[in-house]
Amino acid sequence: MVILLLAIFSLFFSSCIPMEMDKCLSGKIENVNKLIEESKEYSRRGFPEGYFCYGLAELKSKNYEEAIPPLESAYRKKIKRAAFYLGKAYKSIGNRKLASYWFLKALENGFITEDFFLVTSYISKEQLNELESLAKKHPLIYLYLGNYFYRNGIYDAALYYYGIATRYGFEKAKIMFGLTLYKLGNFKGALNVLYSYYKESESRKGAYLIASLIEKHADSLNNCFVLTSKTPEELIQKLARSFKKREVLYKQSAKFYFLAKSRKDYKRVLKKASLVSLKGRNKGKLFLKGKFKSYFELISNCKEGSPVAEILLSKKRGEEWYRALIDFYSSIGFDVVR
C-alpha cells in the first residue's frame, strides 16, 4: 500500500513539472528561454529542481557567472550532480581553483569525468589518497590519474597508474602504458606492449600506433653527431651506422602503416627510408647558402635532422670535417650545392 501511494505521489509530482524543466531533469535542454522562465519561478518557490535547471539554462546560454548562484543553491539542496556543472561554470570564467574544487566534489559524488584532472595543476597528497580510495569503486580514475601524470611529465607515476588501469581492461590504459615506457627510454618494451595490443585487437589503430612509434624512434636516432664526434672519421662512422639502422626502422614502420591502410604515411616513411639509404641515388639537392640566421638555429635544425645544418656546423669545426661530410652526402646520392 505504501509503495502504491509513493508511486501515485511520484506520478503526480512529475506531472506538475513544466515541460522544459522535465526535459532538463532528463538531460535535455531545448528551449532555453522557456526553461529560464519556468525554472526561475520554481526556484523562487524553493524547489531544488528549479535552482538546478535555472543554473543549467544560464550555463547553456553562456551566462557563466549567472549560472553559479542557482547551481550552488541546488547543490546545497542535495542535488549533487550540480557540482559538475559548477566546475564547468568556474572553468569557463577562468577560475581554475574553484573549478578544480567542484570537479573533485563531482567525483566524490560519483560523477566520474576527467575534468578535475584537466584543470588541476597540482594534486596534493591528501587529494591523491582520496582519489585512490575513490578509484577502488570507480577504476576509471586510475586511467585519469595516469593521464594527469603523463601530461605533467611524471612518467614513473603515470606508468604505475596505467598499469593498474590496464588490469581493469581499459584499452587506452594499455596503449598509454606502452607509450609511457617509450618516454622512459624503453623502446623495446613499448613496442612489445603495442604489438600485444595489435594482436589482441587486430585493428588498424593498433597497426598505426606501432608504425608511428617506430617512425618516432627512427627520427630520434639522428643526434647531430657532428657535435659529439671527436674526429671526422668517427663522425662518418656514426652517421653510417645511424643511417643503416634508421632505414631498417623506417621500412618496418612503412609495413605497419600499410597494415593500417594509411597510404599517405606509408609513402612518406618509404621516402624517409630512401633518404637514409647508403645505396640510394638522386636524392635531391642540398643548398648550403642563405639557410640559417644564427649558430643556435643551426644546432636546433641539426638536431631535427637537417643535413644542411649538419654540414654547416661541420665547417665551424674545420675544413677536414666539412669536406668529409660533403663527400659522405654526395656518396649516398645528394647533390651538395655550395
For 117-136, the pLDDT digits (tens) are 999 989 999 999 999 999 99
Residue 284 above 80 pLDDT?
A: yes
Query: Could you tell me which residues come within 8 angstroms of residue 254 by beta carbon, excluding any fewer than 6 positions away?
Result: 211, 266, 269, 270, 273
Reply yes or no on whether the pLDDT at 8 is more than 50.
Answer: no
Backbone φ/ψ region at 292: left (φ over 0), alpha (ψ -120 to 50), beta: beta
Mean pLDDT of 19-27: 80
What integer pLDDT is reported at residue 72 of this predicted model?
94
Please report which confidence band the pLDDT of residue 21 belongs to, taking 50, 70 and 90 as the band edges: confident
| CA–CA distances in Å: residue 314 to residues 76, 138, 276, 321 | 70, 57, 19, 5
What is the reported pTM?
A: 0.84
Mean pLDDT of 159-170: 98
Q: Write down the pLDDT at residue 26.
A: 78
The DSSP call for residue 282 is -
The pLDDT value recorded for residue 32 is 81
The cell for 261 is 591502410
Q: Which three cell numbers stand for residue 64?
A: 557563466
Which H/E stretch holds residue 326? helix 319-331
Angle at 223 between CA 220 and CA 225, to 5 degrees: 160
The pLDDT score that the predictor gives to residue 282 is: 84
Whether 204 shows a pLDDT value over 70: the answer reads: yes
Q: What local confidence, expressed as pLDDT, does residue 289 receive?
A: 83
What domains, with CATH codes, occur in the chain?
15-169 (1.25.40.10), 225-337 (no CATH)
* Cell numbers standing for residue 1: 500500500
* CB contact set of 328 (below 8 Å; sequence gap of 6+): 236, 239, 240
State yes or no: pLDDT of 13 exceeds 80. Answer: no
- The whole-angstrom separation of Cα 7 and Cα 18 is 19
Task: Say which amino acid occupies 295.
Answer: Y
Which residues on neighbouring strands pair with residue 335, listed in sequence order? 285
Task: Say how far apart CA 71 and CA 79 lie, in whole Å.
Answer: 9
pLDDT above 90 as % of the chain: 74
Q: Which long-range contacts (CB under 8 A, 24 or more apart) does 258-261 make?
A: 259/204, 259/207, 259/211, 260/204, 260/205, 260/207, 260/208, 260/211, 261/204
Number of neighbouring beta carbons within 10 Å of residue 20: 22
The position carrying cell 595489435 is 198
More confident residue, 81 or 16: 81
What the block records as the C-alpha cell of 230 is: 671527436
Q: Chain-wide mean pLDDT for the chain?
A: 91
Mean of pLDDT values over 276-289: 87
What whole-number distance in Å separates Cα of residue 304 and Cα of residue 298? 10
Q: Do 318 and 298 form a contact (C-beta atoms < 8 A)? A: no
